[in-house]
A and B are shown apart, each in its own frame.
Chain A
Amino acid sequence: MDSRFLMSLQIIVAGAQKIGAVPHGTRVTAPIASGHFEGPRLQGKVLPGGADWTLLRGDGVLELDLRVTLETDDGALIHMTSFGLRHGPPGVIGALARGESVDPSTYYFRTTPRFETGHPKYTFLNRLVAVSRGDRRPEGPIYTIDEIL
């Protein structure tokens, strides 16, 4: 399927909140401290206050459920949500858990961002479907987000 680059989004997470074992798996919430995004059509920073609500399922797949607010460099606020999946060989996932740098091609980390904004310059974001490839760095994830054409 055809796609085109929308932006690269780096998110810096604060201390994880380990909720623990819940009915659907193991829940860890990662508050968002800051971040930035950059692409040909939009760039700016991530506002503090969002979080990524993660759930490690019984089959070893991590579900991610991110909600953040983006602020463009010209002052537009964009509500972003993103559901994703992350999984891989146990050795790779273990290295990620230890905070090591891992080649992102060795595991599956994909998300499907959605956007909402009231700013007229960016309303194209309200009308598109996107996918992203994640790269889990020790300080937080970097998402390469493509618009589905």
Chain B
Amino acid sequence: MRSRPLMSLRLSTAHTQDIGAGPRGSRVTFPITGGSFEGERLRGKVLPSGDDWTLKRPDGVVELDLRITLETDDGALIHMTFEGVRDDGPPGGSYFRTVSRFETANAKYSFLNRLLAVGSGQIRADGPLHVIEEIL
């Protein structure tokens, strides 16, 4: 697979909402209070009020389901979603990967409507960081 850097996405989250054990696993929702993104082709901030709806499955894998709005530094709004998995199980390192999609009406950024992207995530002291690459 060939890919190229799209952006680094930093998220800040509020207190989690621990929904608890549901029929499909343990649900925890992370409200997104803000953040920033930076890449060669786009940069800006994450608007508050998105969330990452996570589900910890009985096999230990956490499924992620994120919806946020990005605002570029020149004022374009971008609807972003990703799905992914986080698996802290394997010895030698956690597996934390996502698949992102974007929607925007701004012509400058319409290339985002036409691509799929993969991300590598990590949890840092100041919140999650996702390094996202366009699938070429």
Contacts and interface: CB of A to CB of B under 8 A. Distances in A.
A84 B116 contact: yes
Given A87-B114, A127-B87, 20 more contacts: A1-B118, A1-B120, A1-B133, A59-B110, A59-B113, A84-B116, A110-B135, A112-B116, A112-B118, A114-B83, A123-B59, A126-B61, A127-B61, A129-B84, A129-B97, A131-B1, A131-B116, A148-B1, A148-B97, A148-B118
Contacts of B118: 1, 112, 129, 131, 148
Interface in A102-135: 108, 110-112, 114, 123, 126-129, 131, 133
A136 B91 CA distance: 39
Interface in A1-28: 1, 3
B1 A1 contact: yes
Q: How large is the interface on B (under 10, 10 to 19, 20 to 34, 35 or more residues)?
A: 20 to 34
A16 B120 CA distance: 37
Given A1-B3, A127-B61, A110 B116 contact: yes
B98 interface: yes
A146 to B, nearest CB: 4
A108 B3 CA distance: 13
A56 to B, nearest CB: 13
Interface residues of A, number: 21
A60 to B, nearest CB: 9
A143 to B, nearest CB: 12
A61 interface: yes
A84 B59 CA distance: 27
Contacts of B83: 114
B99 interface: yes
B76 interface: no
A85 interface: yes
29 contacts: A1-B3, A1-B133, A59-B113, A85-B114, A85-B115, A85-B116, A87-B114, A110-B115, A110-B116, A110-B135, A111-B116, A112-B99, A112-B118, A123-B59, A126-B61, A127-B59, A127-B87, A127-B89, A127-B95, A129-B84, A129-B85, A129-B97, A129-B99, A129-B118, A131-B1, A133-B1, A148-B1, A148-B97, A148-B118
A87 B95 CA distance: 31
B24 to A, nearest CB: 12
A61 B116 contact: no
Interface in B103-131: 110, 113-116, 118, 120
Contacts of B114: 59, 61, 85, 87, 108
A91 B70 CA distance: 34
Interface in B48-79: 59, 61
Contacts of B115: 85, 108, 110
